[in-house]
Amino acid sequence: MSVSKMKRLTVFAFRKDADRIVRKLMNLRCVEVRQADSERGEEVLPYLKAESELAQINRNLLQIRQAIPILAKYCRKKGLARRVLHVNREQFVNSGRAAAALELAGRTLELQNSQKENEARQGELRSLCEALSPWIGYETLLNDPGTQKTITILGTFPPTVDSVLLQSQLDEAGIAGEPVKTDETGIYFALTFLRAEENEINTFLVGKGFQKVDLPKKETTARELQARLTKEIAGLEQQFRQNEERFAKLAEGKDDVEILSDIEETNRTAAELKQRLAQTEHCVILDGWVPASMEKTVAEALDAFECAYETEDPTPEDEPPVLLRNNWFAANFEWVIGMYSYPRYGTFDPTFIMSIFYMIIFGLMFADFGYGLLLSVLCFAGIKILNPRASMKRMLMMFGFCGISSALMGAIFGGWFGNLPVAIMEQVAPNAINSTAGHIFASGLWFNPLDDPMTFLVLSLGVGAIHIIAGMAIKFVVLCKEKHALEAICTILPYWVLFAGLGMLVVGIAKPGLIPSGVAQWVSIAGAAMILLLNGVGQKSFFQWLIKGLGGLYGLISYASDLLSYSRILALGMVAGVIAKVINMITAMGTTGPIGFLLMLIILILGHGLNIAINILGTFVHAARLQYIEFFGKFYEDGGEPFNPALPTEEYSEDMTEGSN
């Protein structure tokens, strides 16, 4: 509806009050703190330091952020809805709960590290047990050093080797081979040979595919070591289970850790804001912006401190932030404006008008009663069940309203999950198609775009023409308010006359005799002449005036191009219906028997679900594009920076401390 008027705020306060003032302004939620102007005459003031405070806060936050998802895993309080805790943060800190929550986060991370070490150790021991399994039958100690003249090694030969032939070859090479086990992975041997022949024998063994196995050099057999390791694994498993129980106990304090997260995030915001304050030896200087409507509230809050402050209107050199003020309906569409760019401060806010057109165009592109109703129900139910944050709530509200528009357009143009009722009638009760209900399901309350695409194209272009003219009308009003009424009359009004004439020509062709003969032609000629003659008013020379007028006529090409862009309403409006109709046709092929019925339901749900998802995305993008290019292009002045007030963090909790809201 409008862009809020902003006031520049400057505060001079004692350094000792800097933290309390910043936090008070944060709780007001209506002050954007900017980098203070450090140049005061010839002196350049330094900024307030808060590095050590920030470092401690960041250390705390690192622990807290890592602990919360761990605790959430073991928390019994789970659900889809976002839980918001109400707490007096001042009492929370003063009572020691904040310190206890930080300690709990630390213990959670320590326990998590212990669990990771436990799992790593278990994995290591299990791997070792697996390596020992083939050697259970080997009764010699694993650390057997051999004798002064002999050495024993363990290893495997490939499973493809003939064991009888291998044994004879080992004997010939002077190797005492003790087979331990044979399986699909290989033949396990303990080999004893002379130390003096080690190099020659190693060469021989490599040629036979021998792979040496290194087991722990323990004064025990493989069987005894495996039993010992198995016992250790059991102990680690028990310890792991006990730690899981400790996690469940710690998770009871998850709420406090989440509250502490909000408190520390708020502390960090306050510390970062303080770094924007210029300082002298005893004072600080705060610069910011506040909506004019909140000026009195801010003044009352600052009066509680020993400080001096002033508010003033922005100068032409200033770039105030932009705060949009819209009614409950249009406010849900502000984020669509934000995806493009906020209007420049002091210019027209088109959110309300855009929201009406966006909803209508979205409905035409996504014209299906079933799809629209489902979209609305899901969005409004999501708001009720999930309790989302404000930004998500606005998005869901917007799509909910667009779903209502889609449902209405679907009823008008015969979209009921495509042609699902008709497809069912054809299978179950063919005669019902000729009834009144059958006619409404088949053709809608007006007509079906799949049966009459040209009428739908004309309707789409008609909506586009109204949309474009509305944009021009906004520009006309803006120019008049800026005391440029002559420019508005000379550069916009002639196009309307020409458009009126062209509209009469179209109506005359569609409905002969409805428009008196020759009127449409003369109105069109008058409009073209007005563009040629008036577009150059104010130019210094006849040549400039003529060029400007011809340029105005040439601009008709741009308007024609903009108008044709609205043919995408036809394309998107039909594609969802065609795909839905195909899904219904495929579904109808498998309606025989229980298996066929089950297959029909699967195809129906998956097909329509995918069709809805794809077309919602396409409709959202193209409906927005028509606003950004065709509508905004006629009047919009972008480049505004959204108003970003300093706020306390309330991701998990709301502060109920007196004066915080």
Q: Over the stretch 113-138, which tens digit does the pLDDT of each residue have? A: 999 999 999 999 999 999 888 888 88
Domain spanning 2-49+275-321, CATH architecture: 2-Layer Sandwich (3.30)
Work out the burial of residue 44: count CB atoms within 10 Å of its CB; fewer than 13 is exposed, 13-18 middle, 19 or more buried: exposed
pLDDT bucket at 42, cuts 50 / 70 / 90: low
- What ranges in 589-654 are assigned the alpha helix state H? 593-625
Helix (H) or strand (E) holding 138, with range, is none
Residue 566: what pLDDT?
A: 94
Q: Does domain 143-214 have CATH number 3.30.70.100?
A: yes
> pTM for the full model?
0.84
In this structure, are residues 289 and 6 in contact, taking their beta carbons and an 8 Å threshold? yes
Distance of CA 216 to the CA centre of its chain: 53
User: Cα torsion for 220, 222, 225, 226, to the nearest 10°?
Assistant: -170
Q: Where are the domains of the chain?
A: 2-49+275-321, 143-214, 330-640
In this structure, are residues 456 and 622 in contact, taking their beta carbons and an 8 Å threshold? no
- Strand partners for 287: 10, 34
pLDDT in tens, 367-413: 999 999 999 999 999 999 888 888 999 999 999 999 999 999 999 99
Residue 268 neighbours by CB under 8 Å, 6+ apart: 54, 57, 58, 61
**Rg, Å, the chain Cα set:** 39
Residue 70: what pLDDT?
A: 93
Three-class DSSP category at 154: strand
The residue among 514 and 602 whose pLDDT is bigger is 602
Residue closest to 370 by CA, chosen among 584, 572, 566, 570 = 584
> Is the predicted pLDDT of residue 172 greater than 60, yes or no?
yes
DSSP letters of 524-539? HHHHHHHHHHHTTTT-
Residue 427: what pLDDT?
A: 75
The residue among 307 and 504 whose pLDDT is bigger is 307
Whether 2-49+275-321 and 143-214 share one fold: the answer is yes
